[in-house]
Amino acid sequence: MGIGAICLVAVGVAHGEPAAPDPHELIEAAIDHQRSATSYSELRMLIHRPDWQRTLSIVAWTRGLSDALIRFTAPAKDAGNAVLQLDEKMWTYTPKLNRVIRLPFSMMSQDWVGSDLSYNDLSRNDNVLQHYRLAVVDIGEADGLAAYTIEAVPFDSAPVVWGKEDWVVRDDYITLSQTFYDQDLKPLKRMETLEIGEMGGRIVGTRMRMSKLDEDDHYTEMEFIDMDFDLPLEDRLFTTFTLQSGSVPTSGRDG
Amino acid sequence: MVLPLKLLFQLSVRNIFRHKRRNGMLLAAIVVAVGAVVCTSSLIRGFQYDMADAAVANLTGHVKILAPGYLDDPNIGKSFELAETWRPDVADEELAGWAARVRVPAVIMSERGTRGVQFVGIDPAQEHISFIGSVAVEGEHLADASDGRILVGRALAEQLETGAGRRLVIITQGHDGLNRESGFRIAGLYDAEGTGLEKMFVFTGVDTLQKMVGADVYTEISIRLRRDPVLFQLKASLVEFFTGLDVLNWQELEPQAAAMFVFADSAFFIWYFIMMGALVFGLVNTLVTSVMERVRELGMLRALGMRSRGVVAQVVLESSVLMLIGVAIGIATGWLAVLSMGDGIDLTQWAEGIEAFGMRGKLVPVPLADDIVLIGLMSVVLGVVASLYPALRIVRIKPLEALRR
């Protein structure tokens, strides 16, 4: 409280917006906005490196914050590879091996299929709500809407390696960027929303980019082609059986 | 008839001095060989003791108490409870110390890396018996058993690109089988001699780790003694006390180190026989030459009534005197060489390689009196054996034949 809070209030007033909202609610709403109770999405993932790049096609279903099934559909080499997340646990399936493998915790911080996203990035975005001290540190403007910068500093005993995270969340709960800092507070990687559009009946980020900030020209872009929210999903979708059989992709859309 | 030993001895010594250059060369060869054997044997002993010591200090101790199956599948489920008041049943003057620890496999993560490690909960006050009690620490050592920070090896910190004062995340299995993860602040970086240990062990207070795994249990008790003999007696009493648990001595826990220990014993003899074997051929050659030039002389002595065993004794004495002088100077030289190595040869440059042999960064020679006496005795025996062939050869020539040459 004190001077800092007064300044923030002053900024808020200058923009004609309500005073800084609760950062906790803001992030919770932002995560919920992108995933909702259930969601279905089709996207293209572009992995870019200085001397090569490749594109993968993906379909994904999510339920709540904890369950997700992600399946590659193209190129042929990768088609059929899939990841299942249930709470904290993750499994991968590779058709070439015809085997479901439970990912050990030690692998969760590794890169996912050679992209700039780690398995943790896929699964644990919501731990920011539990393990960090959140504070709105800046209120700016983006496309005519207020954009809140939230600084998230992990608690001392939190199972989090980062020094801090910065989230920029627009007033309509679209996450504009998320930056990860090391413990020297040097930025290491950043997820940015490059395009925002309407999809599945709501305004969401439709193109996002995760860049490694300590390496030039390393980034992974996700471009959403189709999205649907709050569709009925069968329980059997989020099972290792479905992960392996790959039977749902055609029927899942319409539930 | 008693041999005229005094006369024979005089003859032998004079014969040695008759060919100063030739025998001088031979003496030099003996000195070099014996000196080298003394020197290398103390290095081999140094290696052997260092290795055994490292094996024991490497969180092993002379005896260790483990839950059955822990060695095959080390996890917190393979643990046991320990009464607060327990202490090993050994006289104080025999006991170097003991430590109860929790040791579990864990994954450690920084912003930039992930590694698998052994996460060890210790009471720093008990750890003077292991390497972690005496390592150099950059930053702070753990304060007590309830210290909630961690101590990380320097090599591991370099891999994880982190340092003292930073936070790391550690994931391990709880007593209920579910994963536990928590952030820990690094108290300090320790510098073990050799990067293997530094990459393998991460330490924290034992109370902290018990809290993390959610059970007031230990996975091991390690006991270190001042000397070996009480080991068997202690082991027996421990087996009786800890029914249902495994009680293992260091040879069982570190079979590779124990095998190397035995191998070093034989390496000493192998080395000795290579060096001395080469020398013996030189000795035989010189003696044959010197005896064959004196065929007429020895023939005359025998014609005058000296027994053939007298002749044999003369040659054997000649060889033995030469050997004795050589061995004396050789041992002195070897001893000086060992002294000149002072407090050891610095091998830290090759730390990675020598670690495979369970050694540490410094090779300190350990000259054992037993070894040196053995080297001296065996050399003299070899001298006698080597002189038998030339002596018998000369005795086989009849005195008349000898005189006619």
Domains parsed from chain A with CATH numbers: 22-245 (2.50.20.10)
Q: Which pLDDT band, with edges at 50, 70 and 90, does A124 fall under?
A: low
Task: Work out the percent of chain A whose per-residue pLDDT is above 90.
Answer: 48
In Å, how far are A48, A117, A143, A178, B327 from A210, measured between CA atoms? Answer: 10, 7, 21, 9, 76
Question: Which residue among A110, A159, A182 sits closest to B169, beta carbon to beta carbon?
Answer: A159
- B178 close to A (CB below 8 A): no
**Mean of pLDDT over chain A:** 85
Give the pLDDT score at B2: 63
Name chain A contacts of B182, Cβ cutoff 8 Å.
Answer: 157-159
Is residue B67 domain-shared with residue B186, that is, in the same domain?
yes
Is residue B134 domain-shared with residue B216, that is, in the same domain?
yes
- B19 close to A (CB below 8 A): no
Is residue B137 domain-shared with residue B69, that is, in the same domain?
yes
Name chain B contacts of A162, Cβ cutoff 8 Å.
Answer: 111
Give the pLDDT score at B394: 87
Give the pLDDT score at A251: 43
Q: At which of B249, B274, B302 does a domain end?
A: B249
Q: How far away is chain B from the Cα of A190, in angstroms, using its nearest Cα?
A: 14
Q: Which pLDDT band, with edges at 50, 70 and 90, does A252 fall under?
A: very low
Q: At which of B202, B223, B249 does a domain end?
A: B249
Alpha helices in B154-218 (DSSP H): 154-160, 195-200, 206-213
- The amino acid sitting at B315 is V
Q: Do B181 and A110 touch (CB under 8 A)?
A: no
Task: Judge whether residue A1 has pLDDT over 80.
Answer: no
How many domains in chain B? 2
Which of B184, B236, B210 has its CA nearest to residue B63? B236
Top residue of A183, A189, A212, A213 to mutate, by most chain B CBs within 10 Å, is A183
- B164 close to A (CB below 8 A): no
Task: Judge whether residue A206 has pLDDT over 80.
Answer: yes
Top residue of B119, B166, B169 to mutate, by most chain A CBs within 10 Å, is B169
Residues in chain A, total: 255
In Å, how far are A133, A184, A187, B157, B332 from A163, measured between CA atoms? Answer: 12, 7, 9, 17, 63
Is residue B240 domain-shared with residue B298, that is, in the same domain?
no
**Three-class secondary structure of residue B24 per DSSP:** helix
Task: Judge whether residue A14 has pLDDT over 60.
Answer: no
Is residue B9 domain-shared with residue B90, that is, in the same domain?
no
Is residue B161 domain-shared with residue B175, that is, in the same domain?
yes
Q: At which of B222, B249, B276 does a domain end?
A: B249
Top residue of A87, A90, A105, A110 to mutate, by most chain B CBs within 10 Å, is A105
Question: Backbone phi, then psi, for B378, in 5-degree steps?
Answer: -65, -35
- All residue ranges of chain B with pLDDT < 50 are none
Task: Judge whether residue A103 has pLDDT over 80.
Answer: yes
Is residue B296 domain-shared with residue B386, that is, in the same domain?
yes
Name chain A contacts of B162, Cβ cutoff 8 Å.
Answer: 183
Q: Do A159 and B179 touch (CB under 8 A)?
A: no
Let me know: does B20 contact B358? Beta carbons within 8 Å: no
Is residue B210 domain-shared with residue B267, that is, in the same domain?
no
Is residue B338 domain-shared with residue B230, that is, in the same domain?
no
Question: Which residue among A88, A110, A161 sits closest to B169, beta carbon to beta carbon?
Answer: A161
Q: Where is pLDDT greater, at A100 or A107?
A: A100
Angle between helices B255-293 and B295-303 (to 10 degrees): 70
The one-character DSSP state at B80 is B
Q: Which pLDDT band, with edges at 50, 70 and 90, does A45 fall under?
A: very high
Let me know: does B299 contact B402? Beta carbons within 8 Å: yes
- B134 close to A (CB below 8 A): no
Give the pLDDT score at B351: 66
**Among all residues of chain A, which has the CA nearest to that of B111?**
A161
What number of other Cβ atoms are within 10 A of residue A66's Cβ?
Answer: 15
Is residue B51 domain-shared with residue B66, that is, in the same domain?
no
Question: Which residue among A104, A105, A159 sits closest to B183, beta carbon to beta carbon?
Answer: A159
Is residue B141 domain-shared with residue B238, that is, in the same domain?
yes
Give the pLDDT score at A3: 46
Structural domain of B167? 60-249
Name chain A contacts of B181, Cβ cutoff 8 Å.
Answer: 105, 159
Question: Which residue among B107, B111, B182 sits closest to A157, beta carbon to beta carbon?
Answer: B182
Is residue B36 domain-shared with residue B167, that is, in the same domain?
no
Give the pLDDT score at B356: 64
**Three-class secondary structure of residue B140 per DSSP:** coil
- B87 close to A (CB below 8 A): no
Give the pLDDT score at A10: 42
